[in-house]
Structure 1
């Protein structure tokens, strides 16, 4: 996105600055960090972010909060219209100290769009009021568990990265353990302790994350289900709805 704001600059300026941009082609952002905290989201399209804690998929009804100086990279999936709000370190003191996903509200989106129209250098009391709304929404909106946490053990990380590259790989836990030269017992135990999910649940989550990318590419729901290894489209739709609160068809309208 061709944002015209440098998040590395103006740390002594307004507590919140907002940029909005569009990109027709895929956007790829190399790993980086900046001294301002960042809340990023989209109005149309799908974004994925890579942080140390895992992979975050960001559809248009969600946004990701990144504390100051937190390394991250990302890319869009297809055409993308998005926004970023950058927050000075002082204003981040009572905001989440770790990356998190939040479900956006109509109030947050309206405040962000309003702030994106401010001329550079203008900082009136009205601007401060809108900035306070943005900060309060970051502080209080519910956290959504849409990330894919990554293990720290190098052997488990190797397995996780292979599954992310190909979520349809049908190897079972014992086969993955042999491939990574780790005992199945250790693999099972450490996946839970390092990601919060057992191996089967984590792999299912990886498939759901991939399904969001495929839906953003306009792949038919039936094809998504079969390509990701679900026995039927209805089985995929049922799991998708339990996980995201909506069917794939209704979810697609945000993409």
Structure 2
């Protein structure tokens, strides 16, 4: 199935439904939720998924597992998706929070095959075997830490969302404290209680996560400069230490 809304087939008695969708650049799927769990794979582009608890950045040819009934929104940056909508009872092992995962070559081929299936595919034949194998493959995937937690307090969350929209290396704890009419010490302690990390450490991680969509169109050197790193080497070291992969692995268009 391609470019059809999940609501039109949600009631079909199949544990796994696959839908391929093409989005215009920059398209925002505003706040919504699904009755089923969702495996959202980006065959092209980068996706930024947000819930009340955090944001998850999904590079090309990776996916995000979204729990059933999780309110979320997704910004699509030149994305063509292959989504699986899965009955919650079929995946009791599904994570309770969104999780970015690497995708194996076998799973990619299964996804390509699955989106060509009708909603009421034959459970007894090859099509049913493809659906069953999809679940086995997803259960074995390794996670990628491409996320940033958000505070539950609305005023802190607003500061964090603004920063994610435009990371600025010059911004300090004092700047944030002044915004909330707090002392720097009181603000830092409150932030630490909310997220278990310091505001400065949070901003560093947020800047590194913001590099993922930038790496689609810029070199590592260009991204390092834009994010305020003294050299490509220092940026690469910080990115690799945080996410377990080099930023060069995500460069799709070297200039």
TM-score strictly above 0.5? yes
Distance 1:176 1:44, change over 3 A: same
Q: Give the length in aligned residue pairs.
A: 252
Preserved contact between residue 11 and residue 36 of structure 1 (Cα < 8 Å): no
Which is worse superposed, 121-130 or 83-92?
121-130
Deviations 1:76-130 (A, max 9, x none): 22x2222110012322333223322222222322222221121232223233332
CA distance in 2, matches of 1:207, 1:54: 14
Distance 1:6 1:162, change over 3 A: closer
**Corresponding residue number in structure 2 for 1:33:** 33
Preserved contact between residue 218 and residue 251 of structure 2 (Cα < 8 Å): no
Preserved contact between residue 40 and residue 85 of structure 1 (Cα < 8 Å): yes
Deviations 1:172-230 (A, max 9, x none): 213321222234334333433433432222101111122112222x1333232222111
Could you tell me which runs of 5 or more consecutive residues in structure 2 were left unpaired when the two chains were aligned: none
CA distance in 1, matches of 2:10, 2:158: 40
Within 5 Å, give how 1:102-141 maps onto structure 2: 102-125=101-124, 126-141=126-141
CA distance in 2, matches of 1:232, 1:60: 25
SS at match of 2:132: helix
Is 1:221 paired with 2:223? no
**Corresponding residue number in structure 2 for 1:144:** 144
Offset at residue 12 of structure 1 (A): 4.6
Is 1:209 paired with 2:212? no
CA distance in 2, matches of 1:158, 1:76: 22
Distance 1:111 1:193, change over 3 A: farther
Which is worse superposed, 171-180 or 57-66?
171-180
**TM-score, normalisation: structure 1:** 0.87
Which is worse superposed, 23-32 or 66-75?
23-32
Offset at residue 247 of structure 1 (A): 3.4
CA distance in 2, matches of 1:197, 1:132: 40
Preserved contact between residue 60 and residue 254 of structure 1 (Cα < 8 Å): no
Could you tell me which runs of 5 or more consecutive residues in structure 1 were left unpaired when the two chains were aligned: none
Alpha-carbon RMSD across the aligned residues, in angstroms, is 2.4
